[in-house]
Amino acid sequence: MTRAVHAKVSGRVQGVFFRAGAQREAQRLGLAGWVKNTPEGGVEVHAEGEWPALKRFLDWLRVGPPNAHVKNVEWEAGEATGAFTEFSVRA
């Protein structure tokens, strides 16, 4: 069953290739959705896929790429919309 996760990541997550890293990891895990920077300096993510892959993606979000310093990840699970066929970086 396809599920969805919507997450907000805070810390030093902009300017450290967090979005590109999240896109690579999501694609590796076979997830669809998007990632974008927020005006508050964080990153927002919506991912859809199988629950085991989503859990691994959440684990990655808690660490991020090498130069990131993640302080917090707030997330909620829900039903997938099925509206996404790939994982993209939004401006």
> Which candidate in 3, 12, 37, 56 is catalytic?
37
Q: Which of 19, 24, 56, 72 is catalytic?
A: 19
Tokens 């859809």 correspond to 48
Residue 62 falls in the annotated catalytic set: no
Quick one: tokens of 23? 């896109």
Q: Sheet of 32-37: strands edge to edge?
A: 69-79, 2-12, 43-50, 32-37, 87-90
Q: CA end-to-end span of the chain, whole Å?
A: 30
Active site residue 72: no
List active site positions: 19, 37
